[in-house]
Amino acid sequence: MKKLILALVMILGLGITSCWACPDKEKAAKILMPLFGRQKPKVVSIKPAPVKGLCEVVIDSNGRKTPLYLDESGRYLILGRIIDIPKRKDITQARVTDLNRLSPEKLKELKKLVAFSVGKGPEVFLITDPDCPHCKRAEKIIFPLAEQGKLKVNVILMPLEALHPQAKAKSIAIICDKKGPKALMEGYKGTQCEEGKKKVEDTLKTLPGLGIRGTPTYIFPDGRVHAGVLEEKQLLEMVK
């Protein structure tokens, strides 16, 4: 009798396992190919998603890793976010953040692009544009934390000229005249120099290669990258 029960448990276990089988990377790439045109998608990984019946397929697009969701039959693609309602947690965003962490080597590269630093404590990079309205809100939140000694903020200036035609000149001036938070927030205009121009142009070349294309963007000590404004509580939680 015990042997019979054990055999049934094993059969049921095999049934559950097969029910949760996701396609391998090569098969997933073939399934998704009609949606990507002629270019075969680069599938980094595939595994069961947090939601039963779905598989998480991680795609690498120009260095940016993004999770998509396939049903186990491979017929349906689900685009969107998985939200844990009781915990009020965006599981998909947390996964995106984890997948796109920057290595210690990349963090060292970023140090070369810093326009100025303020404060003491855990180091956070703030990538900002002098004329970006959302950046202004981010700056009003993060700079007081630097003044209170709760964070060290390394500011990298990334002017988005297509949206803000004067932002590049302002960024160069802040670097050339060695200005800080006050000048940045007030839209400082000043000296144009080769050193400042080079640093800004190096920034504009480097950051897209790291998957950073918008402002404000934060980069935390463990390499996590977050796009969009964070409140004070969120910032402090990210550096714990």
* Tokens linked to 136: 């202004």
- Same-domain check for residues 154 and 233: yes
Tens digit of pLDDT at every position of the chain (240 positions): 444 333 333 333 433 334 448 999 999 999 999 988 778 899 999 999 999 999 999 999 877 899 999 998 889 999 889 999 999 899 998 899 899 999 999 999 999 999 999 999 999 999 999 999 999 999 999 999 999 999 999 999 999 999 999 999 999 999 999 999 999 999 999 999 999 999 999 999 999 988 899 999 999 999 999 999 999 999 999 998
- Same-domain check for residues 126 and 224: yes
Q: Could you tell me the residue range of the domain that residue 54 belongs to?
A: 22-99
Instruction: Find, among 116, 131, 105, 136, the residue nearest to 199 by Cα.
Output: 116
Is 178 domain-assigned? yes
Q: pTM of the entire structure?
A: 0.76
**DSSP 3-state of 240:** coil
Is 17 domain-assigned? no
Quote the radius of gyration of the chain (alpha carbons, Å). 23
- Same-domain check for residues 200 and 86: no
